[in-house]
Amino acid sequence: MSELRVLQAMAGAAHGGAELFFERLVLALHRAGVHQHVLIRQNAERAGKLVEGGMTPVELAFGGRFDLFTKLAFKREIKKFQPQLIVTWMNRATSFCPPKGRGLPEFVHVGRLGGYYDLKYYGNCDHLVCNTQDLVDYVVGEGWPADKVHHLPNFADERRAPAVSRRDYYTPDTTPLLFTLGRLHKNKGFDTLLRALSRTSDVYLWIAGDGPERANLEKLAYELGVKPRVRFLGWRDDAPALHAAADIFVCPSRHEPLGNVVIEAWAQGRPVLAAASQGPSALIEDGVNGRLVPVDDPVALSEAIRALTRNQAQLATLAAAGRASFEAHFTEASVVRRYQDFFTKVTGMPCAASPG
């Protein structure tokens, strides 16, 4: 029996949680020996990461609905690579995947969801992969057969790095430091975190990320009088070094389907304080491997910040339990193995053996 060939397609934005995990998973599967071909939306940074990892991605425009060139190119790449399995990430890549037949080889089409998407884009898919059980329940509730919807979690990069210097960002070494990251979007609740910070004293905050709300957030920080204690760091590719410099990771999101950032903080050994949105509340057992507070509640968030920054023993306990949760469920090896088993299950073909 021949080895399974997997074509993966991602047409997402330059930055984002799903896009980052796509890069991680593709490279991890490559290291595990899975035979892959990758199509991505034109992005020099993403292409460079994949090339550096030993892959040769094909960059396409993945433009609007009338982008016939990408549709033809997608079909051409399928004919050339002859995959038995195609995995398309999110709406755009899925909508560009040509339907079966019409001179194409036989393949199983899997759509990968990372949020509560409109399922109209996934009508040609044979299976859907969701990164949380809550997403599985949503998809099944929308009418998909339960045996065609699968839960496969994300994993986080657990490589550590030396802490960046706080002094480089005008932050005292002896002052409690909160760290958060993500796209600066209303869904992420960074405004709530700033309001909570205004109710504390002698606590600093680093925000890594960029997006449409940056100007509004900077203005709000100024209006609340916390701007001297807040550092807007922009997009960063050194999250482990930023985690290492901080005392607590905060996820204040109003909407967070999975909470990749929680898993990443656990991997880095950081204690986590989060708003109880969908993903974090599914991951965190309050008071055990993290702390949860109500969504959009700056008072509760500020109270939790004050309590945690005054209790180093609890911070250490939460960090250790979070790391244990990561090691039990979200390591690269365990998640890659689950993906390989899933690929074999839906195609009936052997996938490369997991490393180690």
pLDDT tens-digit map of 198-244: 999 999 999 999 999 999 999 999 999 999 999 999 999 899 999 99
For residue 136, the model assigns a pLDDT of 94
- In angstroms, the CA 356 to CA 353 distance is 9
Contacts of 176 (CB under 8 A, 6+ apart): 202, 203, 204, 247, 248, 309
Clarify whether residues 198 and 286 are in a common domain: yes
Cα dihedral across residues 128, 132, 137, 141: positive or negative: negative
Is 94 inside any structural domain? yes
For residue 18, the model assigns a pLDDT of 86
Clarify whether residues 260 and 340 are in a common domain: no
- Does the reported pTM lie above 0.85? no
59-71 pLDDT, tens per residue? Answer: 999 998 889 999 9
**Percent of the chain at pLDDT above 70?**
99
Clarify whether residues 197 and 309 are in a common domain: yes
Clarify whether residues 147 and 234 are in a common domain: no
Beta bridge partners of 129: 112, 150
Say which residue the tokens 């990749």 belong to: 260
Residue 353 has pLDDT above 80, yes or no: no
Clarify whether residues 86 and 177 are in a common domain: no
72-103 pLDDT, tens per residue? Answer: 999 999 999 999 999 999 999 999 999 998 88
Is 161 inside any structural domain? no
* Number of domains, the chain: 2
- In angstroms, the CA 161 to CA 181 distance is 17
For residue 355, the model assigns a pLDDT of 43
Give the pLDDT mean for 250-276: 94
Clarify whether residues 267 and 178 are in a common domain: yes
Task: Let me know: does 74 contact 109? Beta carbons within 8 Å.
Answer: no
Clarify whether residues 38 and 98 are in a common domain: yes
The CATH number of the domain holding residue 245 is 3.40.50.2000
| Among the listed residues 157, 181, 161, the one whose alpha carbon sits nearest the alpha carbon of residue 27 | 157
Which range of residues forms the domain containing residue 192? 166-329
Clarify whether residues 171 and 31 are in a common domain: no
Cα dihedral across residues 14, 20, 23, 26: positive or negative: negative
Clarify whether residues 74 and 186 are in a common domain: no
Give the pairing of strands 291-293 and 272-275: parallel
Clarify whether residues 312 and 335 are in a common domain: no
